[in-house]
Structure 1
Amino acid sequence: MKVYKFGGASVKDADGVKNLVHVLNTVGYKDTLVVISAMGKTTNALEDVIKNYFQKDPAFQSSIQEVKKYHNSILLDLFEDDSHEIFEKVDGLFNELKGFFDRNKSPDYNYVYDQTISYGELLSTTIVSAYLNQVGLTNTWLDVREMIKTDNYYRRANVDWELTGNLIREKVNPNVLNITQGFLGSDPNNFTTTLGREGSDYTAAIIAYCLNGESVTIWKDVPGVLNADPRYFENAQQLNKISYTEAIELAFYGASVIHPKTLQPLQGKEIPLLVRSFLKPTDPGTTVGRGIGLEPEVPCFIVKKNQILISLSSLDFSYIVEENISEIFRHLSTYKMKVDVIQNSAISFSVCVDDIYNNIDQLLQHLKAKFKVSCTKDVALYTIRHYSDAAIKQMESDKEVLLKQLTQQTVQMVTK
């Protein structure tokens, strides 16, 4: 079985949905499962809905209406008959969403986030499935929350692999075209969970792993995996082949094309990952597989914006020893910081973090009880894999380097 994943950019409007049909007709859809993300910027729009809900902002209802208006405009472009059952189904999903807010008593932002944000994927797959049926691509719509089971670590849930595998094998008919949602799962109480932003790639990998899939293809608006994000770097080059190990390294450091968790299950069963363009579906794109190195061998550039650099030293100028480092990491774990770089000397310790859960102020308060603390917000973390002197010089140009770290294959620098 083949697993295809289409992201939000590929289905951002009616033309995108029609192009998805073109891709399936071009490359084939026999024995295929399609994972689809929320349409366009719907996830961001639903995040605004959640923010307005918690802030009791008068714009709360209108922000839901904006999401509905956006999806209705796509419906009207796809379905000539406004009495088609899809209009009622979409209305039903929005009524469910409003009903959740009316009933909700939980003050837990992360729980509310996951229950709300999931409607982006439910809407997109419901619409795409109906359109595919209308144009003759008969398919089965599956609720991924009935297949991928997780713990209740909302917004970054952990998969129960044994139960998930059993459910996927039970519910997926590999001989038909299947449509399901990316990014979502459910906990033991059947509350919706999410796998982390950009987790739809991970969903595709989970399903392929559980079904012993032939391959996973991620369809994007770029020709394949590039050695740099063209939004931030000039002259980006396409990488034709990448080993699992190299791709995992790039994903770990923040390369945006592949989700960090996606590659681990695929590597376990040596399932190839293809990254191809939905604009040019016959082009080969990039292949990620076992033992195929990096082709071509060029430096790879990665940047992560909006990072926070925390520098610590002891209040009495004593050494930073194992006991101190253990305490620092305990606090970083407690406040759910994503650690990207660490560097320590005899009397200092620096760490660059991603404050996904907006806990930085609470973290700093605890650290200041034991350490002298300085904090620099809104820094950028640059990483170069397979660096050269010229690549480092290019990266440092016109930047204030706050921290720099080199290993045999990788250089990282935090800049302001």
Structure 2
Amino acid sequence: MKIFKFGGASVKDAESVKNVAKVLNSQGFEKCLLVVSAMGKTTNALEKVVEYYFKKEDYQNEVEKIKQSHLEITKGLFAENHKIFGEVALFFDDLEAFLRRNKSPNYNFVYDQVVSCGEMISSKILSEYLNDINFSNAWLDARDYIKTDDTYREGVVNWLETEKNISGLDQNQSYVTQGFIGSEANNFTVTLGREGSDYSAAIFAYCLNAEAMTIWKDVPGVMTGDPRKFENVTLLSNISYEEAIEMAYYGASVIHPKTLQPLKQKHIPFYVKSFVEPEKPGTKVGNSDVNQSEESYILKENQVLMNISTRDFSFIAEDHISQIFNLLAKHKIKVSMMQNSAISLALCLEDKFGKIDEVNQTLTQQFSTDVVKNVSLYTVRNANMDELSNFYADKKILLEQISKNTVQIVTQ
């Protein structure tokens, strides 16, 4: 069975949905499972709904905007009397009913119940459209298959239960389902982390022992840098799982960090291809005799640089580091880079949930700290050490770290 994942850009409007059918026509749709993201910027719009809901502002108006946007897309795909219009409206009725009745003050819980609606609606529209044009498929609710713990917004997959659920699917037919979501023991929705649709596809691929998994994007494949951020980048046609995992760890946005481990475990080939030019080969990630190790540039923006030092000039010891990292883990702040000296620890941090001020307040009870927000972390993989002067030019460097063939700098 083949696993295809289509992101938000590939289903952002009616013409894009029609293009998905063209991609499937060129690739073959038999025995295929499609994992679909929310349409366009729907996730951002639904995040705004949650924000307004907790601020007790007019979230209903935001819901209505999202509803009308989806109905407009639907009008470009179906006849006026098609049942899909009622189904789309029902999703929004359920969303508004949840927000009216909800009593939970847990932001993350409410976030997951609301934001997940984007994938539910996009997958239903795509499934119905494909059936109408004779691409026969069954629509699946991913929450019935991917089971997690109750860590809302960062669900941890229960692999034993998930594999049992998914392995029972009939692999002789095709399916459309959602990325990004699963459910916990009480069947409440749990999301798998921002950009988690790639991970969802990998979960299905692993549990179905898929022959291959392909992510369809608006870029030709995995490049040696984001063409929107770096000049003269080129396509990487073949890279190893290990290189792809390293690139994902350092922040290459084209690959979700969690995606690769389940694929590597079962040696499932992973392709990144363009939905604009589906006939192009794209990038293959997997076992190959011609894996590339080209110089590659990765940029992570909106980072936080925190310098922590002892007040009495004692060493930063194991107990200090353990205390600091436990605090970061508690607040779901991820370490992108670290560097320590005798009396200080420098950390480049990713603060997705806006907890850095709270963490800093706790740390200053025992340590001296300095926090610089909105910094950028550049990473050069497989760096040519003799030709890095252009890379350093015109950058205010706050922190630098060089290891074997990898250079990282934090800039302001």
Q: Aligned-pair distance for 1:231? A: 1.2
Query: Which of 235, 247, 265 pairs up with 1:250?
Result: 247
In the other structure, the counterpart of 1:17 is 17
Structure 2 gaps, min length 5: none
In 2, Cα distance between equivalents of 1:349 and 1:392: 26
In the other structure, the counterpart of 1:117 is 115
| Aligned pairs (5 A) from 1:351-370 | 351-370=347-366
Q: Tell me, yes or no, if the aligned pair for 1:299 and 1:391 is still in contact at 8 Å.
A: no
Q: In structure 2, give the amino acid aligned to 1:412.
A: Q
In the other structure, the counterpart of 2:264 is 267
In the other structure, the counterpart of 2:274 is 277
In the other structure, the counterpart of 1:133 is 131
Q: Aligned-pair distance for 1:164? A: 0.2
Q: In structure 2, give the amino acid aligned to 1:176.
A: Q
- Superimposed CA distance per residue, residues 91-121 of structure 1 (whole angstroms, 9 cap, x where no aligned partner): 0000000011011111111111110011000
In the other structure, the counterpart of 1:75 is 74
Q: Tell me, yes or no, if the aligned pair for 2:238 and 2:288 is still in contact at 8 Å.
A: no
Q: Tell me, yes or no, if the aligned pair for 2:384 and 2:405 is still in contact at 8 Å.
A: no
Q: Aligned-pair distance for 1:328? A: 1.0
Q: Tell whether 2:4 aligns with 1:4.
A: yes
Q: Which moves more between the two structures, 222-231 or 389-398?
A: 389-398
In 2, Cα distance between equivalents of 1:350 and 1:85: 57
- Superimposed CA distance per residue, residues 11-61 of structure 1 (whole angstroms, 9 cap, x where no aligned partner): 000010000000111110111100010000000010111111111113x11
In 2, Cα distance between equivalents of 1:3 and 1:345: 47
Q: Tell me, yes or no, if the aligned pair for 2:226 and 2:233 is still in contact at 8 Å.
A: yes
Q: Aligned-pair distance for 1:294? A: 3.7
Q: Tell whether 2:215 aligns with 1:218.
A: yes
Q: Aligned-pair distance for 1:357? A: 1.3
The number of aligned residues is 412
- 3-state DSSP of counterpart to 1:308: strand
Structure 1 gaps, min length 5: none
- Superimposed CA distance per residue, residues 195-245 of structure 1 (whole angstroms, 9 cap, x where no aligned partner): 111111111111110011000000111111001001111111100000000
In the other structure, the counterpart of 1:207 is 204
- Superimposed CA distance per residue, residues 236-289 of structure 1 (whole angstroms, 9 cap, x where no aligned partner): 110000000000000001000111010000000000000111111111110000
- 3-state DSSP of counterpart to 1:138: coil
In 2, Cα distance between equivalents of 1:358 and 1:154: 16
In the other structure, the counterpart of 2:300 is 304
- 3-state DSSP of counterpart to 1:234: coil
- Superimposed CA distance per residue, residues 173-207 of structure 1 (whole angstroms, 9 cap, x where no aligned partner): 21111000001000011000011111111111111
| Aligned pairs (5 A) from 1:365-384 | 365-384=361-380
Q: Tell me, yes or no, if the aligned pair for 1:241 and 1:292 is still in contact at 8 Å.
A: no
Paired-residue identity, %: 51
Q: Aligned-pair distance for 1:411? A: 1.0
Q: Aligned-pair distance for 1:143? A: 0.3
In 2, Cα distance between equivalents of 1:400 and 1:10: 37
In 2, Cα distance between equivalents of 1:293 and 1:341: 30
In 2, Cα distance between equivalents of 1:44 and 1:249: 28
Q: Tell me, yes or no, if the aligned pair for 1:183 and 1:194 is still in contact at 8 Å.
A: yes
TM-score between both structures, scaled by the size of structure 2 = 0.98
Q: Structure 1 residues 332, 23: closer, same or farther in 2, change over 3 A? A: same
Q: Which moves more between the two structures, 383-392 or 126-135?
A: 383-392
RMSD: 1.0
In the other structure, the counterpart of 2:155 is 157
In 2, Cα distance between equivalents of 1:247 and 1:178: 28
Q: Tell me, yes or no, if the aligned pair for 2:222 and 2:272 is still in contact at 8 Å.
A: yes
Q: Aligned-pair distance for 1:292? A: 4.4
In the other structure, the counterpart of 1:49 is 49
